Amino acid sequence: MFSRGNTSEKARILNLPTLKAEQLGCPPEKTSAVDLYAGIGYFAFSYARAGVKHVLCWEINPWSIEALRLGATRNGWLVTVVGKIMELKTVADRGQPRLTILAESNEHAWERLRKRRSRGFGPPVRHVNCGFLPSSEKSWETAVKALDPAEGGWVHAHENIAKNDIERRQAEVVQEFERLVVQVYGPNHGRKVECEHLERVKSYSPHVIHCVLDIAITPVKTPAS
């Protein structure tokens, strides 16, 4: 968690062009982001600082949850903690939280996000962070489901990849996301899946690089749609 590489990735997220109105198609203040491995908030705080209206943070470690809550409060953001591990709805009466910490495994994320969507709560989710090593693959199905079905968005998938295997693994990751999009939306899903960028965050061990793949999942809009 406390590494120089995470600091550069935090700064990259903060300045992502895909968090600006031009690429989002609306101001970030009209969007939500999901961090499925929020830790102490390295990436979650970057989304909030970039203007995202609501950041939903899944985290299972009670120490990290408390650090996340404190950090958010010190940034002046309203934060509420709900979930299977603990509940701290202390700010519920002071307005809409900027960050919601879900104190539970992200295995429960889709059931919550599905209810949130069906009830029309909160702005659409346009970014999902999957920050887990050596691979965040277990969370990708949830990430695909979490993105707004009408507008799509970006999944930031963290992976440790052998230095000499990056190109092959990148193609494999895209293929896996394509498979998941078919699984979630059916064979005629009408979506483009591509890796817009692969960030080499840091050397994890002599021959292994911590990479982040920015996977864009975009509904293809026909002139009539």
Ligand X SMILES: C[S@@+](CC[C@H](N)C(=O)[O-])C[C@H]1O[C@@H](n2cnc3c(N)ncnc32)[C@H](O)[C@@H]1O
Tell me whether residue 224 is exposed, middle or buried, using C-beta atoms within 10 angstroms of its C-beta: 0 to 12, 13 to 18, 19 or more: exposed
Q: Where are the beta strands (DSSP E) in 24-121?
A: 32-35, 54-59, 79-82, 99-103
Residues contacting ligand X: total by CB under 6 A: 20
- Beta sheet of 32-35, edge-to-edge order: 79-82, 99-103, 54-59, 32-35, 125-130, 153-162, 208-219, 191-205
* Shortest distance in whole angstroms from residue 22 CB to ligand X: 26
Of 26 and 70, nearer to ligand X (C-beta) is: 70
Nearest residue to ligand X on Cβ basis: 39
Which CB, 104 or 193, lies closer to ligand X? Answer: 104
Burial class (CB in 10 A: 0-12, 13-18, 19+), 156: buried
The reply to whether 37 sits near ligand X by the rule CB under 6 A is yes
Indicate whether 6 belongs to the interface with ligand X (CB under 6 A).
yes
The answer to whether 220 touches 209, Cβ cutoff 8 Å, is: no
Instruction: Give least dist CB 58 to ligand X, A.
Output: 4
CB under 6 A: which stretch of 13-21, 126-134, 149-157, 210-218 binds ligand X? 126-134
**Among positions 131, 154, 198, 199, the unique one binding ligand X when judged by CB under 6 A:** 131
Per CB under 6 A, which of residues 106..125 are in contact with ligand X?
A: 106-107
- Give how far the C-alpha of residue 223 lies from the chain's centroid of Cα atoms, to the nearest Å: 30
Residue 28 Cβ vs ligand X, minimum distance, rounded to whole Å: 19
Among 18, 31, 33, 42, binds ligand X (CB under 6 A): 42
Q: Does 32 bind ligand X (CB under 6 A)?
A: no
- Give the other-Cβ count within 10 Å of 127's Cβ: 28
- CA dist 90 and 31 (Å) reads 24
14 touching ligand X, by CB under 6 A: no
**67 Cβ contact partners less than 8 Å away, ≥ 6 residues apart:** 40, 41
β partners of residue 213 = 157, 198
Q: Does 39 bind ligand X (CB under 6 A)?
A: yes
Residue 136 or residue 191: which is nearer to ligand X going by CB? Answer: 136
Residues 48-107 touching ligand X, rule: CB under 6 A, are 58-61, 64, 105-107
Contact positions vs ligand X (CB under 6 A):
1, 6, 37-43, 58-61, 64, 105-107, 131-133
